[in-house]
Chains A and B, each alone.
Chain A
């Protein structure tokens, strides 16, 4: 007889902001019977992996942090990656979450077993089963490699910005950077002074705004430490300030011309060469693709050792990147290092291929290219599973942590509801999911993301925005404030129905199953 794999009430995939936040809320509710499955050897997720030079958050740190763990010690308004990662490790440590983490456990598959009413999760570090599955594998988890001919044949050094090779000395090298997204604009200014020559391959010019980044003064830090309410005021002010961006993005995109003017001024300030200026000026409405923030990106591009290439890349040869211009003429750019700033699998996250329903059909197959969920969190046909940072919960203007926390609250409300009413299974109703997504699509109409004239990582192949939340974030927080049982198919836990309750436990007596069941019930009661 093979030994049954360890069973948990909740299994959380990932230990980034979503996984950690979920684990902390479970602990706060007194539910200790959970496991966090982490593929790497430390917590932190995206903020652990993306340690390229200059990595920082482009949402002010007072807002981009957990609501239950304000940090008066942020060094800058937009904190660098190392500080954010350190912050996450400390929060994990204080709540003792790290004791629940299984490191080196990359999830290979998670399959729903209706008979056992549990998820069977196979990982690199062994198999576990769990009644509830929470995926905290966010959209920026898996680097996306571009489909360019000859990418594998390159004989120099090639790496993705999310897997930065710190052992590779860039001094004096001829470097190609492919992509001008949020990562590239942060690391390009940092590596530009070091490298011999930098060729930046740009498909679409992004809008780049001036960043009001500064040190947090000692007075501010003292104030936040001494009167925590002042930090709450700062946090809320940033939140409501950022929320006004929605007026431009979603309600009236014409307002964004102001932003475009600022963006052009930002280019004009640092770039004097009219040809380069033309290359760097975007031809779509600001906000359609993510608006980026940097003070040193344009000055870096204006330096003599940088060349911006806007022609499309046709192939990569062992020592060069080849482009073709509009007239069909090919140019070979000789380089010895290629850095890919080509982003992540956002609309097709690999985790979706590994979450399987009862028939073995994956979430990715279920979705096709049209990723949708109910309240961004639960998917019809995938019972007892919650997807944090799921479909249509992304943001272009404010803190993702806010959305994640709203989803975590919703998940906790759902778990509490099930425990309180003796239920052991929930499955979103397809009609509820449909109605919800109709609402999302309706709000999406007229927003800059679908009408701004660009192709961004927000959109799927059909041009539907499956990534972003289309309106104010407080709207989402209100929608996920309470669990709504009428939108779900729920099942009564037969082992817990009246009468059968106590004798069932007593009869089992010293059996292992009996003690585990008792342990689980204790956890339930605390959740109440």
Chain B
């Protein structure tokens, strides 16, 4: 999936701490204020496309594929999947793309948000994150709070767990799966083109890494490291988000020492960057203006 954005992407390979190669793309002017965007589970960096298209062309945008997604390497063993590894990857990308002494706005959607919360106590992250945006994400009790599977009580949580962990290959994208996806992850008013885009992204993701990451998220427990994020943070959530309902946003806001705002976007589901790109691009630009002053002046 190519993203129509200002200028051509400069592609680079980043080696994470454990040797896994990650695919990253840098767009926009080399000396502009930098945004680093981490994508969600079972898609690829292209899921930030609609937001990137709306952004001010003077911003420098760094996108990367999480391990097991897109063009990044897939771990060979189970040990390659953990929130620590997500944090390692983000730190490696920050080190490779944000020059020493400069700061960036770091944004994460869903698993990307979990990545940021897992990296909350890392030195590299604390040095280089000038501001943070977390959208449609959670840091604990994911299956329990999920309302995606409309079954009563613990059955719903069990259903959510199965949905997260099943390593089933999805085959080619089709109308049925797109409908099911829309029901699970998007708001009622999502337009059909966005739904199709979402389905294409999800179908392009390998079943095995999807299931493994789902397993990691089922047992997610990131309260401790999320508390350590000292950069000013905005938390965004869709009111119809079934995978990470608004409860998570308020829970995260309660943990963060420097939470600027919790924004509930009415009528949207879990796929924030696809469903409400305008809201996110405005927030990202505002964060850049407010907190990357030194970088703007340079």
Contact = CB atoms under 8 A, between A and B. Distances in A.
A305 to B, nearest CB: 40
Interface in B1-58: 17-20
A71 B76 contact: yes
Interface string A20-52: 000010010000000000000000000000000
B206 A93 contact: no
B230 interface: no
A318 interface: no
Given A90-B19, A226-B207, A226-B208, A95 B79 contact: yes
A24 B17 CA distance: 17
Nearest to A94: B80
A91 B77 contact: yes
A93 B74 contact: no
B206 A94 contact: no
A251 interface: no
Contacts of A87: 76
Contacts of B159: none
Contact of A94 (B79, B169, B207, B208): B79
Nearest to B209: A225
Contact of B206 (A68, A69, A92, A226): A226
B79 A225 contact: no
Given A226-B207, A227-B169, A228-B208, A94 B18 contact: yes
B19 A93 contact: yes
B75 interface: yes
A70 interface: yes
Nearest to B21: A90
B169 A226 contact: yes
Interface in A75-105: 87, 89-96, 98
Nearest to A228: B208
Most buried by B among A68, A89, A91: A91
B13 to A, nearest CB: 14
A420 to B, nearest CB: 25
A94 B74 contact: no
A464 B111 CA distance: 60
A99 to B, nearest CB: 10
Contacts of A225: 74, 206, 208
Contacts of B74: 225
Contacts of B75: 94
Interface in B165-222: 169, 206-208
B77 A95 contact: yes
A27 B207 CA distance: 27
A68 B77 contact: yes
Given A71-B76, A227-B169, A96 B206 contact: no
Given A225-B206, A226-B207, A69 B77 contact: yes
The B interface is mostly helix, strand or loop, or mixed, namely loop
Interface residues of A, number: 20
Nearest to B77: A69
Given A90-B19, A93-B19, A70 B207 contact: no
Interface string A211-252: 000000000000001111000000000000000000000000
- Chain B interface size band reads 10 to 19
- Overall SS of chain A's interface: helix
Given A68-B77, A226-B169, A227-B169, A93 B208 contact: no
A68 B73 CA distance: 18
A227 B170 CA distance: 12
Contact of B77 (A89, A94, A226, A227): A94
B170 to A, nearest CB: 10
Given A69-B76, A225-B74, A227-B169, A93 B207 contact: no
Contacts of A95: 77, 79
Contacts of A92: 19
A91 B76 contact: yes
Q: Which of B18, B74, B169, B206 has the most CB of A within 10 A?
A: B18
B271 to A, nearest CB: 24
Contact of B17 (A70, A91, A93): A93
Interface string B72-98: 011111111000010000000000000
A77 to B, nearest CB: 18
Contacts of A226: 169, 206-208
Contact of B19 (A70, A71, A89): A89
A70 B208 CA distance: 13
Contacts of B78: 68
A228 B207 CA distance: 10
A48 to B, nearest CB: 14
B169 A90 contact: no
Contacts of A228: 208
A87 B73 CA distance: 12
A70 B76 contact: yes
B18 A93 contact: yes
Contacts of A227: 169
Nearest to B74: A225
A479 to B, nearest CB: 27
Contacts of B80: 94
Contacts of B79: 24, 27, 94-96
A452 to B, nearest CB: 39
Nearest to A27: B79
Contacts of A69: 76-77
A90 B208 contact: no
B92 to A, nearest CB: 12
B207 to A, nearest CB: 6
A505 B226 CA distance: 36
A41 B106 CA distance: 35
Contacts of A71: 76
Interface core residue of B18, B74, B76, B78 (most chain A CB under 10 Å): B76
A27 B80 CA distance: 13
A300 to B, nearest CB: 35
Contact of A96 (B18, B73, B76, B169): B18
A93 B20 contact: yes
A93 B73 CA distance: 13
Contact of B20 (A27, A68, A90, A98): A90
A94 to B, nearest CB: 4
A87 B20 CA distance: 10
A68 B17 CA distance: 21
B53 to A, nearest CB: 31
Nearest to A86: B19
Nearest to B15: A93
A91 B208 CA distance: 17
A172 B208 CA distance: 51
A221 to B, nearest CB: 11
Interface of A: 24, 27, 68-71, 87, 89-96, 98, 225-228
Given A69-B76, A225-B206, A226-B169, 11 more contacts: A68-B78, A89-B19, A90-B20, A91-B77, A94-B18, A94-B19, A94-B75, A94-B80, A95-B77, A96-B18, A96-B79
9 contacts: A87-B76, A89-B19, A90-B73, A91-B77, A92-B19, A93-B18, A94-B85, A98-B18, A225-B206
- Top 8 A-B pairs, shortest CB-CB distance: A93-B18, A93-B19, A94-B80, A69-B76, A69-B77, A94-B79, A95-B79, A226-B169
